[in-house]
Structure 1
Amino acid sequence: MAQPDYILYAQHGWADVDRGIGQLAKQVASPNARVVVPNLGFLNTWIRIAPLIDRVEAIAQQTQAQHAPTPIRIVGHSMGGLIWLEVLARHPEWWPLVESLVLVASPVGGADLSRMIDPLSLGIGIARDLGTNRRAIAEKIAAEVPTLIIAGNYDAGSDGIVPVECTKFHRASYVEINNINHARMKQHPAVASIIQQFWQNTSCLCVPEPIESYCDKVIRHLQNIPGITDAHYRGFTRSEVWAYLPHHLVLRTWRSRLNIHHVFLSNSMGDCLFAGFVGWPHTEELYQSLAQIRAHSYHLERDGCK
């Protein structure tokens, strides 16, 4: 068997099969690539993620044994990206072989839809797995592996399913595409073009700087609030100012009809930089954290820190 140029693993996500992501793989793969597109089964994606991770890991182990030490490229759509984060976390010895990890519309910070289904974290089926925050895993991998995030902004800060905010994490390149919904992201030519561009030169896209700015630190603090879930932007226009922060940043809050409390961070131009919400059990912790951010901002202003 001839040695392939690289092995391309392409993984579908929740409530899906391999057809769509398989078409994307065909668009981006070179003629001499070995393309592996596991079909995990539509019904299986509704149960739990652990067996799916095990299955993809087993397929990858068998493929790697057949073609060692061939370079690896990975494309995961939605939950498929989460599966591959977990597989790579189990196999750091593969990281030097991974030329590219591309996460297409993957809810790395935890899917808001899942947390709405399971607001009390009772462990309701796949909802608990999709609602898990995997940013720590993703950032550790992205520090060693060229990583690209592709998010869709189709509906007020989301692709109709996954908010753009929950796709983001530090140390990865980030590209946002307008007017493409979640289902179309897995096979759209625009997504294929971005992937190919990234493969040609992994430094050609915007690679975020290390966390240094005050805005980055505030967002990190918000992301670490217990029970926080990245949200759509649509509640931003109904929010009210909660606190003014240094560097012309503004904390804003909004409470929905279901008494769900949202928090937003904006700049002086009125752009929403972060959107999130907490379930009922974490409301008090939300406002405790906001008070900490506000208190810290007072110290910065008192000390003259810019």
Structure 2
Amino acid sequence: MAQTLATPHSLLIVPDLGWVKTWLRIQPLIAQVEKIASEAIDNYPHIPIRIMGHSMGGLIWLEVLQRHPEWWQKVESFVLVASPVGGADLARILDPLGIGIGIAADLGKNRRQMAQAIAKVIPTLAIAGDVDGGSDGTITLETTKFPGAKWVCLPNLPHAILKNHPAVVEVIQEFWQNPVITPAPPPDFTTTLIERLQSVPGMTDAHWRDFSRAKIYLTFPNGVTIRRWKNTVQVEHVFVANHQGECLYGGFVGWVHIPALLQALGEIGKWELGEWG
């Protein structure tokens, strides 16, 4: 895809990280990309930079950019394609206790705060695919979202296909025509509620298909509800729905983080709408 998007005058850098290495740990890959990027910036200090990353590639670039805020002003745009910024649910399932099972521990990490900080300075685009009403078949839609990024969802495109598809190219080219900072929406009751749930240790974005199984746990005066459900292995799921009963957010925590979720729900239960009305 990078070759498709490149102009005749572009300097294209596409690191080959090695397929086997991508199944081990992310830190060596971050160091490898950091070294390549540093050399390129030193050699071409005045050339504007456009960064793209698919899946784990986007996460690697988040980590690299966090290490080098001095590069941010040089970056014209940052595009993440099918990147589980909030943490991959399959990774959390493989490593429910977060003890570090291969790449699962790295892919299950929540990097939203990191991404949000970067998106305040660098125009950022996040692209997701939806094949089943909640995921691209590999990662959930929700995990690709974070405040400050322009978010685009493409129907019927699975995770692997998103790496190189004409529809993705078209979205990126359109974004490049006017890459601007996307302001985060003003806080309201629902967004604050979702952010509080996302901040629970171990919270991972869930697929919306399980929303229909959840039972109402809390109802607020504005009609917003929190719903809960446990699967067969007692993994605790929590969902937020609007006054029309439509799912706005879903997440789950493993066994070790259930007390933290219950504590958060206890705090939320005491909330009043107050300034949100």
* CA distance, structure 2, for counterparts of residue 202 and residue 59 of structure 1: 25
> Counterpart of 2:154?
177
* CA distance, structure 1, for counterparts of residue 100 and residue 40 of structure 2: 33
Aligned-residue offset at 1:287 = 2.1
2:204 alignment partner AA: T
Give secondary structure in 1 for the equivalent of 2:164.
coil
> Counterpart of 2:79?
102
* CA distance, structure 2, for counterparts of residue 210 and residue 196 of structure 1: 24
1:155 aligns with 2:136: no
> Counterpart of 2:247?
272
* CA distance, structure 2, for counterparts of residue 110 and residue 143 of structure 1: 21
- The answer (yes or no) to whether the contact 2:76–2:179 under 8 Å persists in 1 is no
> Counterpart of 1:220?
195
> Counterpart of 2:40?
63
1:229 aligns with 2:211: no
Q: 1:199 to 1:283 in 2, by over 3 A?
A: same
1:28 alignment partner AA: L
1:94 alignment partner AA: W
* CA distance, structure 2, for counterparts of residue 85 and residue 276 of structure 1: 22
- The answer (yes or no) to whether the contact 1:115–1:229 under 8 Å persists in 2 is yes
1:261 alignment partner AA: E
Give secondary structure in 2 for the equivalent of 1:275.
strand
> Counterpart of 1:286?
261
- The answer (yes or no) to whether the contact 1:157–1:234 under 8 Å persists in 2 is yes
Q: 1:227 to 1:260 in 2, by over 3 A?
A: same
For these two proteins, the number of residue pairs brought into alignment is 277
* CA distance, structure 1, for counterparts of residue 276 and residue 111 of structure 2: 32
Q: 1:142 to 1:37 in 2, by over 3 A?
A: same
* CA distance, structure 1, for counterparts of residue 275 and residue 168 of structure 2: 45
Greater than 6 Å deviation, 4+ residue runs: none
* CA distance, structure 2, for counterparts of residue 211 and residue 130 of structure 1: 29
Aligned-residue offset at 1:178 = 1.1
Aligned-residue offset at 1:179 = 0.9
- The answer (yes or no) to whether the contact 2:48–2:74 under 8 Å persists in 1 is yes
> Counterpart of 2:15?
38
* CA distance, structure 2, for counterparts of residue 111 and residue 145 of structure 1: 24
* CA distance, structure 1, for counterparts of residue 179 and residue 223 of structure 2: 33
Deviations 1:176-198 (A, max 9, x none): 11111000011011111000000
* CA distance, structure 1, for counterparts of residue 275 and residue 85 of structure 2: 36
* CA distance, structure 1, for counterparts of residue 275 and residue 38 of structure 2: 55
Give secondary structure in 1 for the equivalent of 2:209.
coil
Give secondary structure in 2 for the equivalent of 1:56.
helix
- The answer (yes or no) to whether the contact 1:152–1:182 under 8 Å persists in 2 is yes
RMSD: 1.5
Deviations 1:78-137 (A, max 9, x none): 000000011111111111110100010101111111111111111111111111111111
* CA distance, structure 1, for counterparts of residue 235 and residue 133 of structure 2: 18
- The answer (yes or no) to whether the contact 1:249–1:266 under 8 Å persists in 2 is yes
Give secondary structure in 1 for the equivalent of 2:269.
helix
Aligned-residue offset at 1:210 = 4.0
Give secondary structure in 2 for the equivalent of 1:177.
strand
Q: 1:55 to 1:239 in 2, by over 3 A?
A: same
Give secondary structure in 1 for the equivalent of 2:200.
coil
